[in-house]
Structure 1
Amino acid sequence: MPSESVITEHIEITPGVCGGKPRISGHRIRVQDIVIWHERMGLSPDEILLHYPTITLADVYAALAYYHDHRDEIQQQIHAGEEFAAQLQAKTRSILQRKLTENA
């Protein structure tokens, strides 16, 4: 298991920033974002850096280590975000749906 001091060098939790969720220190990139990109989208840590060059490889690995130490908490945050997005999508008609309804 990684040293807690190494993790806290790279991961911070600040009330009022990113909903108080763990994130890369000095950035608004949440641990859950790294997890989604890596596990669900299949991006390697190096590929994540290509998209977000302001973070370091150590940041990415620290986020993944934090995730593995707090798996249930991060999975719950991901699930809550997906539920919120689904509810928002269900309430919001697309521009195309709106135009078709107006022109009917």
Structure 2
Amino acid sequence: MEYIADRITIDEKLCNGKPTIRGKRITVQTILEFLGAGETKEEILNQYPSLVLEDIDACIKFASDLMNRNFTIKTVA
């Protein structure tokens, strides 16, 4: 398991290698989808009692760091 962004882990054997929170079976994507749907941090913490506020903040920072990269769109035939 590799730690990135302090609380975010990647393990190819866990959740198909998607970034998760502290090695739990809760993906960064799941938390971001809840936030995108309008859930508050408090509501997410109630649904996932093993998480803490810093875990949700780490997900947001992780996504923000990804958006700081350059991307190229290529046409596929």
TM, length-normalised to structure 2: 0.76
Q: 1:26 to 1:6 in 2, by over 3 A?
A: closer
Q: Which consecutive segments of 4 or more residues in structure 1 shift more than 3 A?
A: none
Asked if 1 retains the 8 angstrom alpha-carbon contact of 2:10 and 2:23, the reply is no
Q: Is the 8 A contact 1:34 1:63 kept in 2?
A: yes
Change (3 A) 1:37 1:25: same
Q: What is the match of residue 64 of structure 1?
A: 60
Higher helix share: 1
- Return the index of the structure with the highest Cα Rg: 1
Aligned to 1:24: 21
For each residue in 1:31-52, what CA deviation from the matched residue of structure 2 results, as whole angstroms up to 9, or x when unmatched? 100110001x211111100110
Q: How high is the TM-score relative to the length of structure 1? A: 0.57
Once the two structures are aligned, what percentage of the paired residues are identical? 35
Aligned residues: 66
Superposed CA RMSD in Å reads 2.1
Larger strand proportion of the pair: 2
| Uncovered stretches (5+) of structure 2, i.e. residues with no partner | 68-77
